[in-house]
Amino acid sequence: QQQVKQSPQSLIVQKGGISIINCAYENTAFDYFPWYQQFPGKGPALLIAIRPDVSEKKEGRFTISFNKSAKQFSLHIMDSQPGDSATYFCAASSDRGDAGGTSYGKLTFGQGTILTVHP
Amino acid sequence: DSGVTQTPKHLITATGQRVTLRCSPRSGDLSVYWYQQSLDQGLQFLIQYYNGEERAKGNILERFSAQQFPDLHSELNLSSLELGDSALYFCASSSGQGGYGYTFGSGTRLTVV
């Protein structure tokens, strides 16, 4: 129930195209859904995040779409650029923690998507 | 520079040995989190400390332990190392206790030979 499933594992798009990465979760206690971007040799960096009280959040070329009933959320990268080539992780957490109160600060990550944007 | 400092950046050690990884959080952040990143398991939460106290625990092995000191820096101790412990270990920090607003460090790459 703690899993976050991410797809696809890898994605190749042309410069200027739209990159779409999808995630699905099972735990209805999750109430915070961030996306992280990771370049080789670096730690994950927070890209954009959403809470379930809104269905969409946009920051520049990056948009999160959230479907609470389907327990799915996705990252859209508009006008993809070669500099966007990186690994993207979705994640989820619950401010309330789990039933045992032992995972309050825990982020559960998806398996990651390697995005390659060709010039 | 994220503001979260991890040392060392690389560590090579033999099986059975013990190592200590160090993390200095961003100025003002009270929470420190430790994650393990491996190819087959992805990013796995190990443990969280908030203002010196353990706040949340993941699937951290008994051979692993951590602490957060009064100056808020944290150390992750890995003992009786096995080949399977080879991974990237990330520290993150945040101002609050919840799982939002994380800032990750650049990680320590541990290789057990």
- Best mutation target among A107, A109, A113, A114 (most B Cβ atoms within 10 Å) is A107
Please, what are the averages of pLDDT over each run of 10 residues along chain A (119 residues)? 88 98 93 93 93 93 96 98 97 67 73 96
Pick from A46, A104, A109: CB nearest B43: A109
pLDDT of residue A101: 46
Judge whether A42 is closer than 8 Å to chain B, CB to CB.
yes
Inter-chain touch A110–B42, beta carbons under 8 Å: yes
B37 near B43, Cβ under 8 Å? yes
Judge whether A9 is closer than 8 Å to chain B, CB to CB.
no
Structure tokens at A54: 């809104």
Tens-digit pLDDT string for chain B (113 aa): 889 999 999 999 999 999 999 999 999 999 999 999 998 778 999 999 999 999 888 889 999 999 999 999 999 999 999 999 999 999 999 887 776 778 999 999 999 99
Residues of B with CB under 8 A from a CB of A: 2, 4, 31, 33, 42-45, 48, 50, 55-58, 90, 92, 94, 97-107
Inter-chain touch B42–A111, beta carbons under 8 Å: yes
SS3 label, residue B85: helix
Inter-chain touch A106–B92, beta carbons under 8 Å: no
pLDDT of residue B112: 97
pLDDT of residue B89: 98
CA distance B33 to chain A (A): 8
| Cα Rg of chain B (Å, integer) | 13
pLDDT of residue A102: 47
Mind giving me the DSSP string for A86-109?
EEEEEEEB-TT--TTS--TTPPEE
Inter-chain touch B33–A105, beta carbons under 8 Å: yes
CA B20 – CA B95 distance, rounded (Å): 24
pLDDT of residue B95: 83
Residue B95: its chain A contacts at CB < 8 A? Answer: none
pLDDT of residue A1: 55
pLDDT of residue A99: 45
- Best mutation target among A104, A108, A111 (most B Cβ atoms within 10 Å) is A104
CA A104 – CA A98 distance, rounded (Å): 7
B52: exposed, middle or buried (Cβ count in 10 Å: 0-12, 13-18, 19+): middle
pLDDT of residue B101: 75
Question: CB neighbours of A72 closer than 8 A, spacing ≥ 6?
Answer: A22, A23, A24, A25, A66
Q: Residue with structure tokens 């070669």? A: A82
SS3 label, residue B84: helix
Q: If you count them, how many residues does chain A have?
A: 119
